[in-house]
Structure 1
Amino acid sequence: MDKTIPGEQFDLGVCYYPEQWPEHMWADDYRRMQELGFTIIRMGEFAWNFFEPEEGVFTFDLFDRAIDLAHAHGLKVILGTPTATPPAWMTYQYPEILNVSFDGVQYQHGVRRHYNYSSPVYRQYCAKITEAMAKHYANYPGVAGWQIDNELNCEVNVFYSQADHAAFRIWLREKYGSLDVLNQTWGTVFWNQSYSDWEQVHLSRPAPSKSANPHQALDEKRFISDNVISFARLQVDILRRLAPQQWITTNGMFGHLDSHAMTDELLDFFSYDSYPNFSTIWNDADRENPLMDRSYSNQLAKVRSASPTFCIMEQQSGPGGWVNLLAQSAPKPGQMRLWTYQSVAHGADMVLFFRWRTATFGTEIYWHGINDYHNRPNRRVTEAAKISMELGKIGEIIAGSRFAADVAILHDYDNEWDGEFDVWHGPLTRESEYSWSKALQFSHIPYDYLYVQNKTTLHDLTRYKVLIYPHPAIMSEETAELLKQYVAGGGKLLFGARSGYKDQRGHCRMTPFPGLVADLCGVTVEDFTLVLNEASTPNMRWIDGADEAPTPARLFNDILLPENDSVQTLAVFDGDYYAGKPALTRNAYGSGEAYYYGAAFSREVADALIHRLGLAPATTGWAELPPEVEVAIRVKQNRRFAFLLNFSDKPVRAHLLREMDDMLAGKQLGVGELDIAPYDVLVLALS
């Protein structure tokens, strides 16, 4: 069942922390939120001390007053369970709830997310606070739903407390049943690592070498994910039992957590925190035509794969930064609006800005909200008012619509987690996904992410004309069979180097690469090598009649050997000892085609393949857009809406091929040239 925002109403709002502001300010804050057209606020996720100031003593007076006043101003409330920040009285009395570093150093109280998920004591207190809040707020006027914890696995996503070691052993015993199976799965005969008693088994610990057992490392990430989901389930089960009329979500998408399984098993819909200005810190400025803040469209596509319509629980509204790190420049005029519509274009039906007013104390005094410390009008407030006015006109029209795409990039957690440790395939996936996302965006071809799971069906795949599975080193028999059925039925599937050679344990198969998909691709890998630097990177030269210039075949090279006459070599390596050998092949399989590229995909190779695959821009027949403008299509029954987002700091010119309605401006646009201002957004009714 799809996990989506309930109903077809669009909610716009803001994160608010009544415990951080004098109570005499609340009414004026709510009044101005109401005047801006906001309909929803989030609160409570860091307020455990206010709900339980001492062990077993629960008080709700402050938040009752805050919620009552919000409700009187027409504002719905999302209430957070406060388990991201256990109180000092708890960590002092029960230090075993604290997390521990890989080196065995216990983290201390302060900042946030200093707990571990495994502690029986902490789980007991989390259950108690959740139960007390659920009983009190289950039918409370104005409380619309719940956010579990806050940003699970943010800041830290590895855990090494004694409780975690013990929980890992329990998880392994349930998964494998015996030490013999565990030893076989982890290949412990290598380097004499075999275990003869369960008490000998631990999470990774410091060793003479930085290396570790790769199969254990993969299982550790699976354990952490399952443990987080178990921690969330503890709270969700209580809320489902005591507050069944209120929806449940949580926010994030951080490492070592299967957000898709968590959403499927526990949540009504998924929520995400979108901060595109992080791209000014973690950017690709050294690349040609960097994506910068536009790269968050790729992240939003991953969020959409978990929840077709979703909530943005924190939408960036100002410059971000903690006192001592993560400092960002201020969003330029128009960017706050652009980023909001970036979220909406990709499937958000609920958006809350972070935050109402910048904190005057604490770590986040530079993580700016809509209002500044002085509480006087500023350009961010003006921009929020414009966004609210526009979404007030079109929100209910577009709410419930779904993002439309003919292309999907396949992704899975096993390869993501294995690739963190395995440098022979992990870096390839990051490069290829970046390259494809850039090529598709600049070509105006909307795309989805599709996470390969145990529940993935052929129907899930056949929704797309083209699938790109860049480097699935780990591949199960079930997945390989599913992919063969997809291609045989007429689909087009693309692999990159290092595909299919590992089983689910992370063991290398004793069959020719690419293992289970060798017959699908019609090739085997004759030879292979890491490509260690740009200077030693050979080119790939097209030989299929096209006139593209040679392009570097980056990071890793699989030298291919066609195994049947149906295989067509599209390009060869043009350098090193394997010059002239096949680098890119296409194999007819049933009614479809399977491509294998023996390197990491670059933007240039992705562009060339887009042409060969016959993929057309989503604007075909109604517009011609410059590459600076992203296009996204949302569909609702027989209506189609096109979002045009100019990520450039300069005006650009588009060309409309037919008349259409500008939904934000409330006017009709004629055929001809269309100027789009810097950071501007248009929403067009296509049908």
Structure 2
Amino acid sequence: MPETTPRGLTRLAFGGDYNPEQWPESVWHEDVRLMREAGVTLVSVGIFSWALLEPDPGEYDFGWLDRVLDLLDANGIRADLGTPTVAPPAWFYRAHPDALPVDPDGRRLAFGSRGAICHSSPAYRQAAARITTELARRYAGHPALALWHVHNEYGVPVSACYCDTCGAHFRQWLRARYGTVDAVNEVWGTAFWGQRYRGFEEIDPPRTTPTTGNPAQQLDYRRFADATLRENFVAERDILHRLAPGVPVTTNFMTALSQCDTIDYWAWGREVDIVTNDHYLITDGRRTHVNLAMTADITRSVAGGAPWLLLEHATSGVSWQPRNPAKAPGQMARNSLAHVARGSEGAMFFQWRQSRRGAEKFHSAMVPHAGTDSRVWREVVGLGRAVESLEPLRATRTVADVAVLWDWQSWWAQQLEWRPSEDHDARERADTFYEALYDRHLTVDFAHPEADLSGYPLVVVPALYLTTEAAGRNLRAYVENGGTLVVSYFSGIVDEHDAVHPGAYPGALRDVLGLTVEEFSPLLAGETVRLTGADGAELTGDVWSEVVVPRGAETLWTYADGIPAGRPAVTRNRLGEGVAWYLSSRLSGPHLDAVLERACEDAGIAPRTGLPHDVEVVRRSGESGTYVFVINHTTADAKVALDSPGTDLLTGERVAGALTAPAGAVRVVALEG
């Protein structure tokens, strides 16, 4: 079995992307001196260095990298060594211009950025295998090597190419998946609009068409593109496993739903030895710490609950948003330790030293342009000490309370054209439901719709437009066996080929919900509907309404106006030992919380009313004990009751009864007993 922890790393990981090739060699010794001062234990090296490592085809220059790795090893710093296959050299594209990707409009993108790759290109695949092989042969036994880092952020910025090479590869993929062209015609519904194919040779990628194209074809192309990227990762991974046994292999994910929507991370999580992730705050005025927590929970879930590693985030501002504010004092540590609370085995950054040139020269770094006489550097050093003090919790696992179902392929299908309302956004629903659970102080696992859900008292389905029959059976069994299920509208509608399930909506979820939907009635922009409960409690929905017909479900709230006036709006269905709730309109904020409060009662989840708003309380537990993280995102001190006494690992203070977390601060208590 491959190793699942970085080789030789005996502490939590702390460090960042190190790009010494951007600096004179005289700077390198200063770098490692400062790394030691900051408590750096791991750095990522060589990710964008193909042009330096192979300056001409088949000619290699490893001397500079030898010296870097030797210098790191001499100073007790481990290396996450990259295969530089995200950035082929200029000479490669000059020899193989057809390896540049083509967009759906037929335009071939140019060299001069990063990730400009046709992943179906045989020339690219061969060149990537060669440089990976050379690196593995040279550095497999290097004492600094802790981890292999394949490529960089697959799917960003190019996830799919539409060239003729990809067309041929797509046809091979379809033949392997479906066997015959008749099967493709069936699952794609090509009888509609006269799109029927006589042979595989007639099928091309879904390029730009006069109006909307075949949605099933587009969905399959997204699957194909994701599978193609994964094929290339696996090819490099297998080379590294063969030539460097005992060294784990990873690639950095971007599981934040706002930053990468082209990768099926459930599938990718099964292929890496260690799940790692890059996370950058989207500073759009919302509560950024909630999205951070959500992303960390998704990443941990992709890892199957096992410890994972935050491989990149920012010390302060980034450089690629419309507006890039700096992080407030203390926010860097708070963000970093929030990831650790939710399962990360450390905190890494992009990057070590801020670049003077290039597209990301205004992206913050551990060593900023201002140097060591700066707030950022002082906070980096302080964070390094904090991360070091948390070494006892290595290999423990975050304890979750509830599950949220999420499926990237369902999201892909939902994003296709001509849906009932462009205002319905699957990601928005996931964000909103997560925020509501966060505000109830519940720690969330994310789960695939076909996963084992038996360990969760409450399962929430914010948006599951594409629902397989297997997922429908899984959710029914979950409820029958005593679970509490909450489903939001426009879920259960189509199968894996974007074909509407036979019969009335909501298709695969009709039985578990105990209802049918006669008709969708999306609302116009700015419209709302009132929902009235039997006790007079009123909710407000927007974006969506439906004509719901109970088939065993009881009605809790009724539409008071709109087309479905007088019809059920929120229902509850008893099935076996459990219950299933259905919300047929878009509810948010207190209106959504009113329903979740009732569902939590059904699930036996007691309200955590004693915890302050925007103060996270998260547990990690394992053989070494139980650790409680208290993360105060507010501007006032907060008190949190503890189950048992313990010691704050960050301050050394012994705590009993209640813990005071100062404004903006983090406390991590190792509980006794």
TM-score range, shorter chain: over 0.9
SS at match of 1:220: helix
Which stretch of structure 1 is more off in the superposition, 639-648 or 506-515?
Answer: 639-648
**1:552 equivalent among 533, 540, 552:** 540
Task: Give, in angstroms, the shift of residue 673 of structure 1.
Answer: 7.9
Q: Match for residue 96 of structure 1? A: 98
Q: Match for residue 300 of structure 2? A: 304
Superposed counterparts of 1:481-500, under 5 Å: 481-500=473-492
Query: Does residue 587 of the first structure (1) align with residue 578 of the second (2)?
Result: no
2:342, 2:398 within 8 Å by CA — same for their partners in 1?
yes
Task: Give, in angstroms, the shift of residue 129 of structure 1.
Answer: 0.5
1:3, 1:309 within 8 Å by CA — same for their partners in 2?
no
Q: Match for residue 26 of structure 1? A: 28
State the alpha-carbon separation in 1 of the partners of residues 3 and 671 from structure 2.
26
Question: Structure 1, residues 262-298: CA drift from partner, whole Å, max 9, x if none?
Answer: 221x21111111222xx22xx2x3xxxx423431211
State the alpha-carbon separation in 1 of the partners of residues 250 and 459 from structure 2.
30
Task: Give, in angstroms, the shift of residue 428 of structure 1.
Answer: 4.2
SS at match of 1:578: coil
Query: Does residue 514 of the first structure (1) align with residue 506 of the second (2)?
Result: yes
Q: Match for residue 448 of structure 1? A: 445
State the alpha-carbon separation in 1 of the partners of residues 100 and 322 from structure 2.
25
Q: CA RMSD in A?
A: 2.2
**1:140 equivalent among 105, 119, 142:** 142
State the alpha-carbon separation in 1 of the partners of residues 642 and 386 from structure 2.
25
2:545, 2:564 within 8 Å by CA — same for their partners in 1?
no
Task: Give, in angstroms, the shift of residue 99 of structure 1.
Answer: 0.6
1:428, 1:600 within 8 Å by CA — same for their partners in 2?
no
Task: Give, in angstroms, the shift of residue 128 of structure 1.
Answer: 0.5
2:396, 2:624 within 8 Å by CA — same for their partners in 1?
no
Q: Match for residue 244 of structure 1? A: 245
Question: Structure 1, residues 404-456: CA drift from partner, whole Å, max 9, x if none?
Answer: 11211001122111011153488342232122111111121111111235xx3
State the alpha-carbon separation in 2 of the partners of residues 513 and 68 from structure 1.
63
Task: Give, in angstroms, the shift of residue 49 of structure 1.
Answer: 1.3
Which stretch of structure 1 is more off in the superposition, 297-306 or 510-519?
Answer: 510-519
Query: Does residue 377 of the first structure (1) align with residue 373 of the second (2)?
Result: yes
State the alpha-carbon separation in 1 of the partners of residues 370 and 504 from structure 2.
67
- Which amino acid letter does the alignment assign opposite residue 230 of structure 2? I
Which stretch of structure 1 is more off in the superposition, 376-385 or 37-46?
Answer: 376-385
Query: Does residue 530 of the first structure (1) align with residue 528 of the second (2)?
Result: no
**Structure 2 CA distance for partners of 1:243 and 1:326, relative to 1, 3 Å:** farther
Q: Match for residue 505 of structure 1? A: 497
**Structure 2 CA distance for partners of 1:686 and 1:436, relative to 1, 3 Å:** farther
**Structure 2 CA distance for partners of 1:432 and 1:501, relative to 1, 3 Å:** same
Question: Structure 1, residues 593-622: CA drift from partner, whole Å, max 9, x if none?
Answer: 1111112342224311332122688995xx
**2:345 equivalent among 343, 349, 373:** 349
Superposed counterparts of 1:223-238, under 5 Å: 223-238=224-239
2:2, 2:247 within 8 Å by CA — same for their partners in 1?
no
- Which amino acid letter does the alignment assign opposite residue 14 of structure 1? G
What is the number of equivalent residue pairs in this alignment?
658
TM-score for both structures, normalised by structure 1: 0.92
State the alpha-carbon separation in 2 of the partners of residues 432 and 8 from structure 1.
40
**Structure 2 CA distance for partners of 1:245 and 1:5, relative to 1, 3 Å:** closer
Task: Give, in angstroms, the shift of residue 637 of structure 1.
Answer: 3.6
Q: Match for residue 400 of structure 2? A: 405
SS at match of 1:541: strand
TM-score for both structures, normalised by structure 2: 0.93
2:433, 2:462 within 8 Å by CA — same for their partners in 1?
no
State the alpha-carbon separation in 2 of the partners of residues 670 and 139 from structure 1.
48
Q: Match for residue 562 of structure 1? A: 550
Which 5+ residue runs of structure 2 have no aligned equivalent?
255-259
Q: Match for residue 270 of structure 1? A: 275
Task: Give, in angstroms, the shift of residue 632 of structure 1.
Answer: 1.7
1:337, 1:387 within 8 Å by CA — same for their partners in 2?
yes
SS at match of 2:492: coil
Q: Match for residue 328 of structure 1? A: 324
Query: Does residue 600 of the first structure (1) align with residue 606 of the second (2)?
Result: no
Query: Does residue 319 of the first structure (1) align with residue 305 of the second (2)?
Result: no
State the alpha-carbon separation in 1 of the partners of residues 545 and 671 from structure 2.
44
1:639, 1:686 within 8 Å by CA — same for their partners in 2?
yes
Q: Match for residue 17 of structure 2? A: 15
**Structure 2 CA distance for partners of 1:501 and 1:176, relative to 1, 3 Å:** same
State the alpha-carbon separation in 2 of the partners of residues 472 and 619 from structure 1.
27
Of all paired residues, the percent bearing the same amino acid is: 31
Task: Give, in angstroms, the shift of residue 125 of structure 1.
Answer: 0.3
**1:169 equivalent among 153, 161, 171:** 171
Task: Give, in angstroms, the shift of residue 50 of structure 1.
Answer: 1.5
Which 5+ residue runs of structure 1 have no aligned equivalent?
none
Task: Give, in angstroms, the shift of residue 89 of structure 1.
Answer: 0.4
**Structure 2 CA distance for partners of 1:616 and 1:337, relative to 1, 3 Å:** farther
State the alpha-carbon separation in 1 of the partners of residues 121 and 83 from structure 2.
18
State the alpha-carbon separation in 2 of the partners of residues 637 and 74 from structure 1.
27
